[in-house]
Amino acid sequence: MREASRPPSPASPAAAARLAGRLAIGRDGYESGAAIAKVATGIGGFDQVAMGGLPARRTTVVAGPAGAAKTLFAAQFLAEGVRSGQPGVFVTLEEPAADLRTNLATLGWDVESWEASGDWRFVDGSPLTPRLAGERPAYNVETLAAQIGAAVDRVGAQRLVLDSINAVLSFEADVVLARQLLRGLVLQLRQMGLTVVLTIETRDDPGGSLTHYGVEEFVADNVVLLRNIHEGTFRRRTVEVLKMRGAMHHKGDVPFTIVPGEGLRVLPVTVPALPPHTVERVPSGIAGLDELTHGGLFSGSTTLVSGPTGAGKTMMAIQFAAGGLDHDETVLFMAFEESHEQVRVSGAALGSDFVKHEEQGNLHVVSLYPEVASLDDHLVEVFELVQRVRPTRLVLDGLSALERLGSEHSYHGFLLGITAFVRSVGLVTLITASPPAGAGGSSTSNHITGLVDTIIVLRHHESGATIRRGVHIQRMRGSSHENAVRELTIDERGVTIGGSLHVSADHPAVPE
């Protein structure tokens, strides 16, 4: 006999909170008693991945190869504590404190003033250089613990960083003794009631054992992995919360980058809390397109224009921008294949004075060659430009040119980030992209079609000795639209969508 379905048991705090509607997905449940307290790291986006930050008064191991930004992660965690009224101690076991002060000052952190105010203190725990070649002196952990204790007492520290613990472990050849050494140190730190970050350098990918000492097995309540992977012409940094004992967190690798003047910024893909679907339409500025879409594009929607080279994608994007300028809107035009000057020339060819609009401040043209930055850096650039310019219309022209910068997985994550962001800020956005090779011009990139609201496909058609441009609406969410293929013309009057384009079987679409 099949057992009747029963509601989830409210025995656990998390279940009770969910049943009461108090625990939302993406939160760690601490408010309802379902998880331990957490402290903010100050690393943009990371606390979202960790669902609140790092567990308070526990030890977190941050592991990764050279160049993965472990020291910066730890320092940013400590700096956030200072800003939050939680003094910290930075125990440097490798890099001199003077070098750290200089490096951190480039991020706008005045560590010297924090030291003067008693909010930040360095402890130099660097091992002494052996006097004789081949000599392996013992490292006195008791002395280090005493130094740390004195510094913690002096500033009233609540946060502690040890960077990097490899320097201590390397002094003990015996793995068992090294473990005991580190276990004793961590136990003493726990007794101080501190939130601790230990950095560990790994030889390669930190997905396996962090070190041959296996420290993560017994000292780490939490493990954060930083990776620095070579993709295409760039390295791509990712962060993964491997474990977080007693607390929930998001799984998997999440990209991050280093932003000048800020530090680490993690780029999680989020599903924005969108307002109810709007029926408000905005004029596209492209003659005939509003008729084709039965009233224009929806406010806050994202439109993809796909087609082969020469089909009119960029000119349609420029006409869309000009339409916004004609209604006194602020437009941000980001070009990934055209130069700034070429965008201006194309605007003039369609009868719009882009130079004048730029001088008036309601048009902002940014030309970015794809290879000048990684995918994640380009994503951050879009975020910051939108926040600075605050446009009502956004154009991303030639977005498919960025596909060559990384792996297919990375590019898909980049597109998810872009589309989620523009939705969250409610921008009317137009994206142009070339279809994938072999698509015959009849379909758009598989990466992005499910992420946009409207898909406009441009085609070349052969009519006798003439090549004619065609356009049709492949999809438009929330609205009916014309299904016919219309003719697209580009002249000094602008971009115009005309009447139906009849193509016989004897004159098929021109292959790409």
Residues labelled as active-site residues: 94, 337
Which residues make Cβ contacts (< 8 Å) with residue 6, sequence separation at least 6? none
- Grouping H, G, I as helix, E, B as strand and the rest as coil, residue 72 is helix
Instruction: Give residue 353's identity as a one-letter amino acid code.
Output: D
The closest of 404, 335, 417 to 376, measured between CA atoms, is 417
- Report which DSSP code applies to 52: S
Helices (H), 266-396: 289-292, 313-326, 340-349, 354-360, 375-389
Q: How far apart are the first and last CA of the chain?
A: 61
Within a 10 A sphere around the Cβ of 13, how many other Cβ atoms? 16
Q: What is the C-alpha separation between 443 and 512, in angstroms, rounded?
A: 12
Which DSSP string do the residues of 425-446 spell out, in sequence order?
HT-EEEEEEPPPTTSTTSS--T
Q: Which of 162, 172, 184 is nearest to 212 (CA)?
A: 172
What type of residue is 118?
G
What is the amino acid identity at position 383?
A: F
**What phi and psi, each to the nearest 5 degrees, are found at residue 472?**
-150, 155
Q: Is residue 216 a contact partner of residue 210, using CB atoms and an 8 Å limit? A: yes
Reported as half-sphere exposure (CB side, CA atoms, 13 A), residue 325 has a value of 26
